[in-house]
């Protein structure tokens, strides 16, 4: 054995002892320069207890990189998760756009999608009440095209100049540093109550849209009005929609709070597990297309990002399907370094004069430079186009492209490789010619003045259950405001939306209903309702992709577990077993049964429905445990479907849930009962349950 101070590659020091290190089975560890490392356990020092030497380049490089591992997180959308996939064209539309993905049916375009929350930092919980980012990068044959959207089709503000104020207001208050990932505080509602244009967005944000059950079960929207341009230069307006094939689904507020406590990575884990299990989520890409003349017939301005175009007015036309089928290899390299920018468009896509979009086009490039530290961020693999790239942009931090030729400018008089690339008027991006005239003014168009009509339309389009949730959300959030004037001002604005809504929120706050604020334009309360605005009217048609949590114990009927498992598998869903302890249980036939969770670590909020299958003896023991009783009580109070066998009686009694309490509490006796229960679960919730939300 070597003596202290030896640097043989097979020697490791450990607590003053030295021993032989086995030869590596895999690749040899190297420095970033490619040099092989002999010892990654000990820094270079004088003697066995002397000072560390500055010449230890391996230690210096390792610590240098560690010290710089973190880049500034995104100011907004910091909490995100990404996945790879493919966009397949279902309908070619060259008559509308020359965008490369849509010229031929069957075209497949590589995609990367990043889902996110807006307000919280990277360490915040997944299931905060918040807008969700839904950003899609398409690596087309004509360059990268980013559709940088949200899961809500409208936004808080009409002009980008107010974006810093919005974000400052919703972020933690600067004098106290909280709350984190929450809008229920004074500065946010102070801002909102003084910005009536935000009212429509707040109806969406206080709805169940802001607490989705999964990334897989939410819509995405491009938010802004863009332009399609065909090969002849003809243009039309377009709005982009992502419709989940899995149907829409959200959670109730109490459930969201408990999910964040039980699993703050709930949405991340859900997406990861679905893809890894082969249940690749899909969305249909749909478009609303209309011309300028049709746009002028609307009662609102299509350039106003606080407005939607109802699908009943302009139907959504499905043209492609997005499938996410591969998780990232490295969250930092891909999810955190991906750079989305609204200005990333390709020939066939162009901008409108939406002032919020115009501002985003300016802002995003600056943001990427701040975060990623170099103008060469486009060379990072997750950002690099999949088509040829040629330009005269040179040097800068972290330049990695192998640039050839003599000239780094144009025009130049060289030829061949020394000449370099040139612009191509025929194939290059050409901005749509349009006439612009008028004085240069800081002014808001009168066509942007109606802030309440579509908010009323959204309210009336919700089911009674969804309306109750909106009222509860406003009541909770405004109830967290310490300044009474803010609550009063918001109630005044809500009166312009709907008097019943305002009164119910005022009652929840225990406040008198104030006079309505004076609107900039008289609101309409007669716009047609739209089923597309309701989550419950757009839910799934089956239980596929969902999860049942079955509580089991020693002595659980083996046939009951098998029958339920078969029914769940047939439905394309998942069954996870929850035991008294994570070590497993012994079933009635004497077989050892592994469980996925111990009940203390797996509350029922993690599942879409539950089954109670303990033996009578097991149920009696579980009835003495708070976690087991809460498993049942929470499932009942969250309107979930509950299946049970006879053995569960003692546990159900302890939880205050009677067998047959309502149509959502179902007894299991046979395999046929199990299949019927899973079919019933497609409704996701038993909203007729007589409890307070």
Q: What are φ and ψ of residue 221, in 5° steps?
A: -140, 145
Measured distance CA(567)–CA(573) in Å, rounded? 9
H-run or E-run covering 628: helix 626-637
Tokens (6 digits) for 343: 């200005």
Tokens 């609303």 sit at which residue?
288
**Which CB contacts under 8 angstroms, 24+ apart, belong to 59-67?**
61/31, 61/32, 61/33, 65/32
Looking up tokens 């701040």 gives 370
Q: DSSP characters for 193-249?
A: HT-GGGHHHHHHHTSGGGSBS-GGG--EE--S-EEEE-TT--EEEEEEEEEETT---
Token pair 């909020």 is at which residue? 605
The 3-state DSSP class for residue 421 equals coil
Annotated active-site residue 200? The verdict is no
Count of alpha carbons within 13 angstroms of residue 271, beta-carbon side: 27
Sign of CA pseudo-dihedral 374, 380, 382, 386? positive
CA gap 41, 581 in Å, rounded:
38
Give the other-Cβ count within 10 Å of 528's Cβ: 10
Nearest residue to 131 (alpha-carbon basis) of 84, 181, 172: 181
Contact between 210 and 224 (Cβ < 8 Å): no
Q: What whole-number distance in Å separates Cα of residue 179 and Cα of residue 655?
A: 33
Which residues does residue 117 pair with via DSSP β-bridges, in sequence order? 132
Residue 173: DSSP 8-state: B
Residue 219 has φ and ψ, to the nearest 5°, of -80, 165
- Whole-number Å distance between alpha carbons of 400 and 392: 14
Query: Is residue 391 annotated as a catalytic residue, yes or no?
Result: no
CA 389, 390, 396, 401 dihedral sign is positive
Taking a C-beta distance cutoff of 8 angstroms, is the pair 321, 283 a contact? yes
CA distance 121 to 138: 26
Q: CA-CA distance, 367 to 355, in Å (whole number)?
A: 18
d(CA 473, CA 317): 33
Residue 688 vs residues 133, 542, 636: alpha-carbon distances, Å: 32, 19, 12
Residues 84, 89, 92: CA angle, nearest 5 degrees: 155
Instruction: Name every residue whose Cβ is closer than 8 Å to that of residue 11 and which is 6 or more positions away in sequence.
Output: 1, 2, 18, 19, 20, 21, 39
Q: Return the closest-CA partner of residue 197 out of 161, 151, 240.
A: 161
Strands 11-14 and 80-89: unpaired
Per the listing, tokens 């309306």 go with 467
Q: Point out the catalytic residue in the list 14, 65, 68, 77.
A: 77
Would you state the structure tokens that stand for residue 214, as one six-digit string? Answer: 């999964």
CA distance 145 to 111: 10
Place of tokens 């210096």: 60
Catalytic hit among 144, 150, 493, 496: 150
- 270 touches 216 (CB < 8 A): yes
Contacts of 619 (CB under 8 A, 6+ apart): 553, 612, 647, 648, 649, 650, 651, 652
Q: Which residues are catalytic?
A: 77, 150
């Amino acid at each position: 054995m070597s003596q202290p101070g030896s640097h043989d590659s097979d020697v490791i020091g450990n607590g003053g002892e030295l021993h032989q290190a086995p030869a590596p089975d895999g690749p040899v560890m190297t420095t970033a320069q490619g040099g092989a490392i002999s010892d990654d356990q000990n820094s270079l020092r004088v003697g066995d207890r002397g000072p560390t030497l500055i010449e230890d380049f391996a230690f210096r490089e390792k610590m240098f990189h560690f010290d710089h591992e973190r880049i500034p997180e995104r100011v907004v959308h910091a909490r995100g998760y990404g996945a790879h996939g493919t966009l397949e064209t279902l309908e070619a539309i060259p008559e509308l756009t020359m965008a490369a993905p849509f010229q031929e049916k069957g075209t497949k375009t590589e995609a990367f999608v990043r889902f996110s929350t807006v307000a919280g930092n990277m360490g915040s919980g997944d299931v905060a009440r918040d807008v969700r980012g839904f950003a899609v990068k398409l690596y087309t044959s004509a360059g990268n095209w980013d559709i940088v959207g949200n899961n809500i089709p409208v936004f808080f503000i009409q002009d980008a100049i107010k974006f810093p104020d919005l974000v400052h207001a919703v972020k933690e208050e600067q004098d106290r540093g909280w709350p984190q990932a929450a809008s229920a505080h004074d500065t946010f509602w102070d801002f909102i109550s003084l910005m009536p244009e935000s009212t429509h967005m707040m109806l969406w944000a206080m709805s169940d849209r802001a607490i989705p059950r999964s990334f897989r079960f939410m819509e995405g929207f491009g938010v802004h009005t863009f332009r399609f341009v065909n090969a002849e230069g003809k243009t039309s307006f377009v709005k982009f929609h992502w419709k989940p094939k899995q149907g829409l689904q959200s959670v109730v507020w109490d459930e969201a709070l408990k999910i964040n406590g039980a699993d703050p990575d709930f949405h991340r884990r859900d997406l990861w597990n679905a893809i890894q299990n082969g249940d690749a989520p899909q969305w249909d890409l749909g478009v609303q297309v209309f011309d300028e003349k049709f746009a002028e017939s609307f009662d609102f301005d299509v350039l106003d990002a606080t407005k939607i175009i109802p699908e009943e007015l302009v139907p959504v036309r499905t043209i492609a399907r997005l499938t996410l089928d591969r998780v990232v290899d490295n969250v930092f390299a891909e999810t955190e370094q991906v750079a989305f920018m609204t200005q990333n468009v390709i020939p066939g896509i162009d901008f409108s004069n939406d002032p919020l979009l115009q501002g985003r086009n300016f802002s995003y490039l600056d943001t990427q430079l701040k975060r990623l530290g170099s103008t060469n961020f486009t060379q990072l693999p997750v950002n690099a186009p999949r088509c040829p790239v040629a330009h005269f942009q040179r040097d800068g931090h972290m330049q990695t492209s192998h640039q050839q030729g003599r000239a780094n400018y144009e025009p130049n008089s060289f030829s061949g490789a020394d000449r370099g690339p040139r612009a191509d008027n025929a194939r290059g991006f050409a901005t749509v010619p349009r006439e612009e005239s008028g004085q240069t003014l800081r002014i808001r168009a009168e066509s942007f003045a109606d802030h309440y009509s579509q908010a009323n339309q959204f309210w009336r389009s919700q089911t009674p259950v969804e309306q109750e949730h909106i009222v509860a959300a406003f009541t909770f959030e405004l109830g967290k405001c310490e300044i009474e004037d803010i609550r009063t001002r918001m109630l005044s604005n809500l009166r312009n939306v709907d008097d019943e809504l305002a009164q119910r929120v005022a009652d929840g706050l225990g406040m008198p209903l104030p006079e309505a604020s004076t609107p900039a334009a008289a609101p309409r309360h007669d716009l047609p309702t739209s089923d597309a605005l309701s989550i419950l009217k757009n839910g799934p048609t089956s239980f596929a992709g969902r999860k049942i949590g079955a509580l089991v114990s020693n002595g659980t009927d083996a046939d009951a577990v098998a029958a339920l498992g078969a029914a769940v598998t047939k439905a394309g869903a998942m069954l996870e077993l929850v035991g008294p302890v994570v070590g497993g249980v012994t079933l009635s036939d004497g077989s050892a049964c592994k469980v996925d969770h111990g009940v203390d670590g797996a509350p029922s909020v993690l599942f879409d429905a539950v089954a109670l299958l303990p033996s009578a003896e097991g149920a009696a023991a579980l009835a003495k445990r708070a976690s087991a009783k809460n498993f049942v009580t929470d499932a009942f109070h969250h309107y979930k479907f509950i299946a049970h066998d006879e053995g569960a009686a003692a546990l159900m009694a302890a939880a205050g849930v009677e067998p047959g309490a309502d149509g959502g509490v179902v007894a299991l006796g046979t395999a046929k009962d199990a299949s019927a229960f899973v079919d019933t679960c497609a409704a996701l919730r038993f909203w007729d349950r007589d409890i307070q939300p």
